[in-house]
Amino acid sequence: MRDEFHAGIQALRQDLAATAATCDAMLEAAVHALVTAGAPGADEVIARDNEVDAAYRAAQERILGLLALQAPVAGDLRILSAMLHVNIHVERLGDYATHVAKMTPVIGDLADHPALAASMVEMGAAACHVSRAALRSFSDADVALAHRLPTLDDRVDASNREIFRRLVELAAADERHLEWATHLIVVARSIERYADHAVDIGEQTLFAVTGETVELSSNDPQITA
């Protein structure tokens, strides 16, 4: 019975990681569509959100089933509780990737702003890097990696600030850019929130392994590069 229980936990870890990988692919595709005005690519991302939502529901049912049928105790109970939260965060990754894709028709073409487009691509890649590290920390019960997530997230935050600065300058120089710049600020914020949810997954790694509730922060003195 216990072997079956732990096999179920391992399968859930793998499935959560696979769904998060789908979300990363969605975000990368959404950002590519955004900077190239690629409506078909954006539509594909939006359609894939249904896949993420279905995976979320299936994982939730399996986690609750293990809780109800296997009567887990101590560390196993913490893992399942953490999985419930990780599952929610992964679903939110899909939502933010979808939101970026939905903004593609509103933004239009960034061909006249190559530096801005490059920053968006860099920010999206950095957010996916945080996400992959977060899921690896959870899958491997890697506490040290979980503590490094805020440092990885600093790169996303820095990109967000730089994009915001550039957009404010563009809007100030020509008020016709104001609405367009506002939409792009919202897009950058969605990418930033994507990475924030990944950091939250790291918090669940710490809870599952140590039983402690820790709010990870890039200002935490424990964090090292």
**pTM score, whole prediction:** 0.92
Task: Using the CB atoms, write b or e for 55-90: b if 16+ within 10 Å.
Answer: bbeebeebbeebbeebebeeebbbbbbbbeebbbbb
> Per 3-state DSSP, what percentage of the chain is helix, strand, and coil (rounded to 5)?
85, 0, 15
- The answer to the question of residue 196 being in a domain is yes
Q: Which CA distances in Å does 139 have to 22, 79, 93, 105, 123? A: 16, 11, 17, 37, 24
Q: Cα–Cα–Cα angle for 67, 73, 74, nearest 5°?
A: 125
Question: 18 in a domain, yes or no?
Answer: yes
Which CATH number is 19's domain given?
1.20.58.220
In the prediction, which pLDDT does 219 show? 41
pLDDT of residue 225: 29
Written as six digits, the tokens of 69 are 């049928």
Distance CA 69, CA 198 (A): 30
Count: domains in the chain? 1
Does some domain include residue 224?
Answer: no
Note whether residue 221 is domain-resident: no
pLDDT exceeds 60 at position 222: no
Mean pLDDT, the chain, as a whole number? 91
The residue-averaged pLDDT of 130-155 equals 96
% of the chain at pLDDT higher than 90: 75
Q: Which domain holds residue 116?
A: 2-210
In a domain? residue 52: yes
> For residue 223, is it within any domain?
no
Cβ atoms 204, 137 nearer than 8 A: no
Q: Is the pLDDT of residue 218 over 90?
A: no
The residue type at 203 = E
The 10s digit of each residue's pLDDT in 12-71 is 999 999 999 999 999 999 999 999 988 899 999 999 999 999 999 999 999 998 888 767
Is the pLDDT at 157 greater than 90, yes or no?
A: yes
pLDDT band at 128 (very low <50, low <70, confident <90, very high): very high
The C-alpha atoms of residue 33 and residue 43 are separated, in whole angstroms, by: 9
Residue 16 lies in a domain: yes
The pLDDT of 101-122, averaged and rounded, is 91
Residue bearing the bigger pLDDT, 129 or 2: 129
Tell whether 127 is covered by a domain: yes
**Mean pLDDT of the region 84-109:** 95
Mean pLDDT on 121-128: 97
* pLDDT tens, position by position, 163-214: 999 999 999 998 888 999 999 999 999 999 999 999 999 999 999 999 988 8
Task: Determine the pLDDT at residue 32.
Answer: 95
